[in-house]
Structure 1
Amino acid sequence: MSEQAPNHKFDTTDPKAAQSNIEREDSVLEETLEEFDPTKNSGSHETIENEIDLDAFEARIKELEDEVKQAKEGTARANAEAYNAQKRMEQEADKSKKFALQKFAKELLEVVDNLERAIENAQSDDPVIEGVRLTHKALLDVLNKNGVEVVEPQGEKFNADLHEAVGIDPDAPADTVGTVLQKGYSLNGRLLRPAMVRVGQ
């Protein structure tokens, strides 16, 4: 609100004094108007000239939001990759643990085969055969505890993934396993040794 000019009492009896008072009042009024003249107020011009560019600020905000979004997506991908890598390592470690005995177990199968041949060919009155049977059973128990199982293919359909055909069995139905010449074994569900068989034609 503009400043009011001082309230002076004019001496109307003295024309010179009255004229002087009028000139004084005019001077005060001019000074007051100059203070509020927008053409002489440089600060007001600077404010108008330096007005904020809202479009530029909105564009910058959008750019920063996009960068934050990309950073979050990158972090999520990195976490997912790290999680998958950890799971793969755990699976590989589990496989290594399960099949670490593969070579050793396969070599033990030859011992099992020899014990079975000894049992089959032993005389019924041989006093040693009972000890061989117990040894054979104990060895199979140890193998079973470590994931080794017998593949019993007799009477099943021939499967090239599990069986190795070495001859024809004239008494077996077509494509069916007949005589088993050597037992097959698996280790934790993976084929350790295929069964050696004769197949019906």
Structure 2
Amino acid sequence: MDERHEPMEQAQASEPVAEAVAEPVPVASEVATPEEVQPPPLGPADEVEALRQEIEHLKQLSEEYLDQARRARAEFLNYKRRVEQELEEFKHLAHMELIAKLLPVLDDFHLAIAHLPPDVADSPWVQGLLLIERKLWSVLEAEGVQPIEAVGKPFSPEEHEAVAVSGEGPHHVVVEEIRRGYRLRGRVLRPALVRVERRASPPETPGETMTDGKRGEE
């Protein structure tokens, strides 16, 4: 009976020994020292090559930044030029609109002066009226407004607007100005309203003639 329990006691006695063998044992050769982690020191040739590569990289960066700066400057100059042109066009359009609104006032002055009775032409209030008309015209003229010549000139669709056409012939000549036209610094601000007459011979002053299908044809 004692012999049966002997192996069991021997097995229990051997268990602590097995557990002690299973524990990991640190090995000194597996632990890396700080000296082993650091890369080996560079030699003179390696240092020169590393500096050369760094310089090339910096040169590429500087060229890229310089190219970006040039592009940004060019875009800014184009934007500035475009804004200035738009501002000038806006000023010009506003200028034209204001002057165009003053032209009917000038027309009223011309109409009143054309129908003045002869017996009051020398009166002070008529002279004052003429003075106001001259002041208004001097202001418009200083801004670049010029009248369009019409009577006796060949009909020009760009400068004249025909309200009546009479006669026969290939040449169209302006014979009457119903409402004066004006230019503003070389551009037609308002065409002149005219009466056109067809003639067989051209006018003395050479110019463009109105062909069939042009404005003013009746």
Structure 2 unpaired stretches of 5+: 1-39, 199-218
Matching residue within 88, 91, 111 for 1:117: 111
What per-residue deviation string (whole Å, max 9, x for no partner) do you get for residues 125-181 of structure 1?
Answer: 113433332221111112122333222233334332222222225499813433221
Matching residue within 138, 151, 161 for 1:164: 161
CA shift for structure 1 position 116: 0.8
- The residue identity in structure 2 corresponding to 1:85 is Y
Structure 1 unpaired stretches of 5+: 1-45
Contact kept, 8 Å, 1:174 with 1:199, in 2: the verdict is no
- Provide the residue aligned with 1:144 in structure 2: 141
Larger relative contact order (Cα-Cα within 8 Å, sequence gap ≥ 6)? 2
**Where in structure 2 are the equivalents of 1:28-43 lying within 5 Å?**
none
What SS is found at the alignment partner of 1:175?
strand
- The residue identity in structure 1 corresponding to 2:186 is G
Question: CA 1:58–1:121 in 2, change beyond 3 Å: closer, same or farther?
Answer: same
Inter-partner Cα distance in structure 1 for 2:54 and 2:100: 68
Give me the CA root mean square deviation: 3.5
CA shift for structure 1 position 91: 2.6
Q: Does 1:85 align with 2:79?
A: yes
CA shift for structure 1 position 105: 2.0
Question: CA 1:160–1:59 in 2, change beyond 3 Å: closer, same or farther?
Answer: farther
**Where in structure 2 are the equivalents of 1:127-142 lying within 5 Å?**
127=123, 128-142=125-139
CA shift for structure 1 position 112: 1.0
TM-score (normalizing by structure 2): 0.55
Percent of pairs with identical residues: 32
